Amino acid sequence: MFKTVRPFLLHAITSVHAGSGSEIGLVDLPIQREKHTGFPKIESSSLKGAIRYDNEVKRKKENKPDEVKKFELVFGSKPKNENDNKTNETQSSAIALSDARILLFPVKSMRGVFAWVTCPFVLKRFNDEMAYYDKEIVLPVPESNTVSSERLYVSNGQIVLEEYTFPVSKQSQTEELADKLALLFKDKLSINITERLVVLDDDDFADFVKLSTEVNARIKINTETGTVSDGALWYEENVPPETIFYSLLFIGDVRGDGIESMKTFKDVERYLIEEGNFPEVFQLGGNGTLGRGMFRRIWM
């Protein structure tokens, strides 16, 4: 039973490939997507695994038994080796994470470099999720085809996103939405969202998040011939930098007896948040050796 919930944002610093496995189609390695909407997502297991790994590396470097025990009480322990003389019991985790859902998607703009786009469906769903857990975070839901600023205008109330032209209007509710999102970002993002927020129709937003992700060709070179190895050309999908997701951290009491400094959900919350063991920047997904998959965590 979880005692408290902490919502947070995830800002993609680089391209991110949270993969769903290989498929037969135009893209060999697609990203994770919701089945019913087709929107990009990051599954909770991928998210928790990345955060656990970041902490596990730190614990190995520190080599402190007490810290290792705290880590296992919070994140759970791995199954023991059957041949190990120690007890084969495992420790269940005291936390859980929800799937990370899309909130803002970056799209190339003819003016202003790029726009962050969202839609009423996404905003309503965000508000519903915050309400489920009694979080007093409510975002305005403006009309479709509205903008927070005239910065993106090409001419006569029109903007151009990718190769598509949209007639839009500047609306006070969209300005209010941009201001509230800027407050959620705090000082973590230097790019000003108040100049580049666009609320699109639900269907237009769905088209962009399905068709405007990055698709990169990857190859493997034969070191002897210097040419592409047979069968070593594939296409890989990535979520672009500046994409914003949101997720929820669920915190409960430690399972079992715990230890003196790690028993209640408040101990777990202090360990993760106040002591900084929920990393602000971490790597998730594939291509870590290529410098991809970097996320910034922003508490709401």
**What would the pLDDT profile of 79-121 be if each residue is shown by its tens digit?**
666 555 555 578 889 999 999 999 999 999 999 999 999 999 9
In a domain, 161, yes or no: no
Taking residue 74's Cβ as centre, other Cβ atoms within 10 Å add up to: 24
Element (H, E) at 251: strand 244-252
In a domain, 183, yes or no: no
Quick check: 12 pLDDT over 70? Answer: yes
Q: How confident is the model at residue 23 (pLDDT cuts 50, 70, 90)?
A: low
Residue-number span of the structural domain to which 10 is assigned: 1-18+44-79+89-98+240-300
* Percent of the chain as helix, strand, coil, to the nearest 5: 30, 30, 40
Cβ contact 251:3 at 8 Å? yes
Q: Does residue 98 come out as left (phi exceeding 0), alpha (psi in the -120 to 50 range) or beta?
A: beta
Angstrom distance (rounded) from CA 180 to CA 173: 11
E-strand spans in 111-238? 114-118, 146-147, 158-161, 164-167, 169-170, 197-199, 214-221, 228-238
Extract long-range pairs of 59-63: CB within 8 Å, 24+ residues apart.
none
Instruction: Check residue 260 and report its DSSP letter.
Output: T
What integer is the mean pLDDT of 119-132?
A: 97
pLDDT tens for each residue of 132-184: 999 999 999 999 999 999 999 998 899 999 999 999 999 999 999 999 999 99
In a domain, 137, yes or no: no
Quick check: 261 pLDDT over 80? Answer: yes
Taking residue 236's Cβ as centre, other Cβ atoms within 10 Å add up to: 20
| Length of the chain in terms of residues written | 300
Quick check: 45 pLDDT over 70? Answer: yes
Cβ contact 98:251 at 8 Å? no
Quick check: 287 pLDDT over 90? Answer: no
In a domain, 278, yes or no: yes
How many domains are contained in the chain? Answer: 1
Cβ contact 235:26 at 8 Å? yes
Higher pLDDT: 90 or 276? It is: 276
What integer is the mean pLDDT of 279-299?
A: 90
Q: Which two tokens stand for residue 25?
A: 């189609």
Provide the terminal-to-terminal Cα distance of the chain, rounded to the nearest Å.
Answer: 22
pTM: 0.91
What integer is the mean pLDDT of 69-79?
A: 87
In a domain, 248, yes or no: yes
In a domain, 266, yes or no: yes
In a domain, 104, yes or no: no
What integer is the mean pLDDT of 186-196?
A: 91
In a domain, 210, yes or no: no
Nearest to 111 by CA among 156, 176, 76: 156
What integer is the mean pLDDT of 262-291?
A: 91
Q: What is the mean pLDDT of the chain?
A: 90
